[in-house]
Amino acid sequence: RENLKSRYSDLGLEVTISDFEKNIQTFLDSTTFAITKFLEYPQFTSYGANILSDSITSVKKDKFYSMGATLSKGMHLKIIISGGLWYYRLSPNGPKNFSISTYEDEKQVFELIEDNTECDLPIQFTIPPYDENGNRNKATSDTVKIEYFENYSPIPTKVKDIIIQ
């Protein structure tokens, strides 16, 4: 309920959400339904600590991290990163199962190629330099925004900021 209220508030909408928790609990208590599809963001993946996991809220500059997920059949994932500066390794250990857009409009899109497997890539962040006047380029900051678009959602299903230290 709180997540729904927060999401609608973020969209600028004021809504009343009915008491649906008791129906969900009744379903959980009386069904043999088993979850067969999943999308997971493990704390660690092939290249180290995973920036997509909930446990990562900051990163050390110039250190490699993973950006990975595990998806079951029929699941889809698109990640959009903006703000800050980031680099990813293309070879010899480059992206696994990610297509990567060109950097455009101060952001980059990483999208799953094939479901029912993992996607991962080694990524690092750095603190953007200052110009001769002591200002940063407007496109860069010490914070990176990550938007998750799960299962073809047209709006982010999750958004988080990561601080570069």
* Rounded average pLDDT over 14-38: 81
Edge-first strand listing for the sheet containing 64-66: 64-66, 122-126, 85-88
**Percent over 90 (pLDDT), the chain:** 45
Residues 6 or more apart in contact with residue 116 via CB below 8 angstroms: 71, 72, 73, 74, 75
Among 11-20, 119-128, 135-144, 149-158, name the most confident range.
Answer: 149-158
From the number of C-beta atoms within 10 Å of its C-beta (0-12, 13-18, 19+), residue 92 rates as exposed
Query: What value, to the nearest 5°, has the Cα angle with vertex 75 and ends 108 and 158?
Result: 50
What is the SS3 assignment for 48? strand
Which helix (H) or strand (E) segment is 8 a member of?
Answer: helix 2-10
Question: How do residues 38-58 score in pLDDT, each as one tens digit?
Answer: 789 999 998 999 999 999 999
Q: What is the pLDDT of residue 2?
A: 77
pLDDT exceeds 60 at position 140:
no
**Would you say the pTM of this structure is higher than 0.85?**
no
Residue 74 exposure: Cα atoms within 13 Å on the Cβ side: 3
Q: Give dist(CA 131, CA 126) in Å, integer.
A: 16
Question: How do residues 63-122 score in pLDDT, each as one tens digit?
Answer: 999 999 998 888 999 999 998 889 898 877 778 899 999 888 889 999 999 888 889 999
